[in-house]
Every structure is written in structure tokens, then in C-alpha cells.
Amino acid sequence: MSTCVELNRLQFSWPGAQSPLLSIPSLTVTRGERVLLRGASGSGKSTLLGLIAGIHTSGPGQVQVLGQDLANLSQHRRDRLRANEIGYIFQQFNLLPYLSASANVTLACQFAPARRERLQQHDIDQQAAMLLTRLGLTPEQQQQPAHQLSVGQQQRVAAARALLGSPALIIADEPTSALDQAHRDDFIKLLFEACDAQQTTLLFVTHDATLAPLFPRSIELSEINEAGAANV
């Protein structure tokens, strides 16, 4: 099995902080895994996701994504790797409210040539429609502006946007925090099915320990972060 994400002796401190926020000796996520990363509010989950996505750069130590050491890449190449290989589902979804659900999804591939290429035999709009349908949106809902959709529907649009063009890794940062349990479990099931269909790795972050039984692998951040206890 090849590796999707590998951390080695990762250290990270925000500028001006008294002590490091993250000190992680090692973490490996193999391709195709479904991993839940749990941690209390403020423990550094979003920061860690930002390091893996190459949005922040780490101090000492290594962050490798798909075999590439992010510290050895220029900002431009990190941005390229993120656009092509990482689909990000944000807690607040970050949809453009006056664009249709469908247009929000296809926008993801605009600046991601490798994702567009992977779709090349197919029409991008058709693929977006297929994903939105698989995630439970009707054709009418797919044409509605995002702001007219329910929170659960917006979340599915955000998931389809992340999945379009089969990026290697989906990073989901607390995307279910606004849902009740039934909708939450339903969403996770659909997300697993969509990831399985395109062999995408899933790194799903939450503070909600009750999600753990739904995932084949669950990691508590405080158990891998040697700097953890001081920060929460």
C-alpha cells in the first residue's frame, strides 16, 4: 500500500506562542484509508490539516503528501499539489452563495489541471451532476443557488466540490457539526461510498468522539501529539 500522508518529527508553533502547538513523532496514512482525527477544541486539529494541505509551513520535521516533502516544494508547487490532489471540505462549507450548487462544484476544477484531466473523457457538468445525485441532491436542487439550500444540502455540495476530479485526499474539517445524528451518519455513509468509488483517502477531523465507531481508524490527537497537554 502506498502512503498518502506521512509526518516525521513534525513541530509547529504559531508566531509569538510560548510553546509548540504540535510535536508529532510520526503519523502515516496509507492510500484509500478512512481516518478520523479527534481532538478537543483548540488542540490544533485545523492547524495540522493546514500543514498537511500546505497552507502553513511547518518548523522542523517533515510533512510528506503523496511522497512529496512539502518543505522542498515552492509555494507555487504546494498550491498546485493542493489544488490537484486535495479536496477540502470546510466546517462552514465556503460555498459561493449566489452560484448554483452545480456551478459551485465545477468551480473546483477551474484551477486544478490534473483534476480536469482526470475528467477528460467526461463532461465536467455531467460528472458534477453524477456526484451531486450520488450525494442525494435532486436535479432541481442542483440548479438552485447555494444560499437557498438547507445546511445538509450545502454540506453535500461542499463534499461533491471536494470529490470532483478524484483528488487523492479529502480533508474534512468538522463538516458535520451543524447536523443532527441521523443526517450526520447518513452524510458520512455517502461520503465513504463516494470516496470508495474513486479510491480517495479520507482524513476527517472532529471534536465529537461519538463518530469514532463509524470509522475503521480513529486517532486521538493528544495521543500522537507530545506537545498536546499544554495547549488544551
Ligand X SMILES: Nc1ncnc2c1ncn2[C@@H]1O[C@H](COP(=O)(O)OP(=O)(O)OP(=O)(O)O)[C@@H](O)[C@H]1O
Question: What residue ranges bind ligand X (CB under 6 A)?
Answer: 14, 21, 39, 41-47, 207
With respect to ligand X, which residue has the nearer C-beta, 149 or 158?
Answer: 158
With respect to ligand X, which residue has the nearer C-beta, 116 or 207?
Answer: 207
Taking a C-beta distance cutoff of 8 angstroms, is the pair 97, 151 a contact? no
Taking a C-beta distance cutoff of 8 angstroms, is the pair 192, 36 a contact? no
Tell the smallest beta-carbon distance from residue 146 to ligand X (Å): 23
With respect to ligand X, which residue has the nearer C-beta, 91 or 144?
Answer: 91
Tell the smallest beta-carbon distance from residue 5 to ligand X (Å): 17
Q: What is the largest CA-CA distance in the chain?
A: 53
Rounded distance between C-alpha atoms, residue 115 and residue 227, angstroms = 37
With respect to ligand X, which residue has the nearer C-beta, 37 or 131?
Answer: 37
Which strands sit side by side in the sheet containing 217-220, from one edge to the other?
86-89, 169-173, 201-206, 34-38, 217-220
Residues paired with 204 in a beta bridge: 36, 172
Tell the smallest beta-carbon distance from residue 12 to ligand X (Å): 9
Tell the smallest beta-carbon distance from residue 176 to ligand X (Å): 13
Q: Kindly report the length of the chain.
A: 232
